[in-house]
Amino acid sequence: MWTWEDIEREWLGGSRIAYTAQEAVEAFNLVERTLGRSWMKEYNSSGGGQVRGTGPTSAIVHMGLRLASLEGIAGPDDLIARIKRTDVSAMAELTAIHLLRRDLPSEQRKRLGWRPSYAESPMKMRLRRWSAGFASSARWRAW
């Protein structure tokens, strides 16, 4: 389990990031639980040495924020496995999901009736409409 002090010591090395300590700690812990510590180490290792600073630290926090967008999505295991293999298309899919969901609180996503899910092909993301009235709503017309 990561603490802010661990992140400052092992990753930042005196640098600062534009995220709060709480955001960073939550993101680091989510990335470690989901992708593993060895996956994280790739972001601050180069040529056998450890790289510290804003870049690798922010990359992990940003990954954690994007991974949090998978909450409540049906069948994310294949996507996560592809992310672990550093599949560029998987990163793009994760970013798309994050962009679709980031501004909607969990409660509102349920009320609006949309949930991203994966089709049989891992490259296809589709949106399923769960409420009949959503397509005629003002929010839908804005999309």
Tens digits of per-residue pLDDT, 73-95?
888 999 999 999 989 999 999 99
Mean pLDDT of the chain: 79
15 and 45 co-located in one domain: yes
- pLDDT of the residue at 10: 93
Q: Is residue 3 part of a domain?
A: yes
7 and 61 co-located in one domain: yes
Number of domains the chain contains: 2
Instruction: Reply yes or no on whether the pLDDT at 129 is more than 70.
Output: no
Closest CA to 67 of 45, 101, 112, 98: 98
45 and 94 co-located in one domain: no
- The answer for residues whose C-beta is within 8 angstroms of residue 34's C-beta and 6 or more apart is 67, 80
Any idea which of 33-37, 63-67, 91-95, 105-109 has the lowest mean pLDDT?
A: 105-109
Q: Is residue 142 part of a domain?
A: no
- pLDDT of the residue at 58: 95
- pLDDT of the residue at 117: 52
Q: Is residue 141 part of a domain?
A: no
- pLDDT of the residue at 55: 92
Rounded to the nearest angstrom, the gap between the alpha carbon of residue 95 and the centroid of all alpha carbons in its chain is 7
- The residue from 15, 34, 68 where one domain ends is 68
- The residue from 16, 37, 68 where one domain ends is 68
